[in-house]
A and B are shown apart, each in its own frame.
Chain A
Amino acid sequence: MAELQASESKDEPGSSSVVKIMKPPTTRIIPPLNFCPVERQLYRSAQPSIINQPFLKDLNLKTIIWLASEEPQDDFLDFCSNCHINVEFVGLMNEYAYKNVNPWDSLSEGTIRRALEIICDKENYPLLVCCGMGRHRTGSVIGCLRRLQGWNLASVSEEYRRFTGARGGRIMVELLIEGFDINSVQVDPSKLPEWLG
């Protein structure tokens, strides 16, 4: 639309009959679905698409934790390499060390632990955690992070369900979060983000 106006106004420079649109439509910033800040410089969302790229640039991300079992789309990977964003693949289907056999399986404890260890290292910030829809896998990791922070389970559940959409939360995910052994996460205390210390 903006280009169209530009060419119209160039048409006849001297003519006063040319209608100039004085107030072109403002650009819209479109965050990915289910986007929300979690803590300072830590964000969560669904898989970003092309229309989210201007927004992602504003976040100045250093790392993206990819939790889906499928590879992201190529344009997304191109964007990340152009912006020097490091993509950490955690929970891919084909990594034999992780037992995710189906895209709809929950994350394994090992996968969550690996994601948390990335989150607990401030060198990786600003950081985005995402999966396909930003609901259950992202919710599992953020839920376990909240337990690590000492949140009580009711508050963790409330937050998880806020992002699960009309079909609601899954008890299985909540059991996973509740049963997760937070003491198994290995962190370097000197690298903890400020809000975790």
Chain B
Amino acid sequence: MSGLPEDPFQMDEELDDRSLKSVNPIARESNQQDQRLLRDGNTSNKLKAVGTQSHQVPNDIPELLNPVAPTYGDVTDAVDDDEQQYEEDLDDKLDRSMYNQKTSKEVQFSLPTKELTPPENFAPVINNIYRSSFPHPNNFTFLRKLKLKSVLCLIPEDYPDSYAEFFQEEGIHIFQLGMSGNKEPFVNISNELITEAVKIVLDPKNQPILIHCNRGKHRTGCLVGVLRRLQKWSLSIIFDEYRKFAAPKERPMDQQFIELYDESDIERYAEKNGLLPIRWD
């Protein structure tokens, strides 16, 4: 890439026309890089994908961009569910078929590639507290690296049977606080359950801990929002963080929950147990 002129990577939106014209050279350039990477054997995953189309020349660019799309498209979520009337609630449901299908096969496939796949919406929250969406079997290699002591699951559904082995091997303790997400107009996240969740998460005995629900957006977002309130973050920044992880399905009710949550119980509990203030490592 050293010989590459600067302008193919122009970052200014105003210069869109110019950068569009120079798309072809980039395509060729990145292709060369692809082939170089393939030779290095670093991306065996891609090797498999690309290898099927005998000689890939410039037309594999769409292939390059494809991995990005599923993360943001919600089409796939909505299609095969029969509860069409609450489109936005589909996220709250665990699609069990998805996890059962790709159990043992998926594990075997993910091992030889050596590529780490974090669960969608994965991020550290504070120190040894992490958040994510529902982990797939192909995230297990990544999760092992976190050396988790426990996992806090915020959905009522049980894990597929195939997960037990992984949790046992890793000695991970499972906490399950099944709560329904905030749904207009009647269903609310319960204050008490979130308080219980905070107690579990803040307990150093349970850390490192991973918090997850189904998509890592709403229920996890509410819990993280409450943790931020205990850190005394300003509400605007808490909402900003919530929206980043919930996009494109931000729920005003979740933000309202975070704002109105009564923290007096948990604060009393946390102060008694020396859990506040939460300091950065």
Contact = CB atoms under 8 A, between A and B. Distances in A.
Question: Do A and B belong to a common assembly?
Answer: yes
Residue among A38, A59, A106, A183 with most chain B CB within 10 A: A106
Contacts of B231: 29
Interface string A92-136: 000000011110111011000000000000000010000000001
A167 interface: yes
Interface stretch (A5-13, A72-80, A146-154): A146-154
B279 interface: yes
B117 A152 contact: yes
A159 B131 CA distance: 13
Contacts of B40: 183
A22 interface: no
Nearest to A33: B240
B233 A109 contact: no
A163 B244 contact: yes
B30 A172 contact: no
A171 B9 CA distance: 9
A157 B33 CA distance: 18
Contact of A41 (B71, B116, B125, B281): B281
Contacts of A172: 8-11, 19, 26
Interface residues of A, number: 57
A127 to B, nearest CB: 12
B80 interface: no
B273 interface: no
Interface stretch (B61-69, B88-96, B171-179): B61-69
Contacts of B29: 179
B220 to A, nearest CB: 14
A39 to B, nearest CB: 7
Contacts of B68: 154, 157-158, 161, 169, 174
Interface string B17-52: 001000000100110010000001011010000000
Interface string A150-191: 111111011101110001011111111011111100000000
Nearest to A163: B244
A33 B234 CA distance: 12
A60 interface: yes
B10 A150 contact: no
B127 interface: yes
Interface in B232-250: 232-235, 237, 240-241, 244-245, 247
3 nearest interchain CB pairs? A154-B67, A104-B12, A106-B9
21 contacts: A36-B241, A40-B127, A60-B280, A101-B6, A105-B10, A106-B10, A108-B6, A151-B116, A157-B67, A157-B71, A159-B122, A163-B244, A170-B11, A172-B11, A173-B9, A174-B65, A175-B9, A178-B33, A178-B64, A179-B29, A183-B40
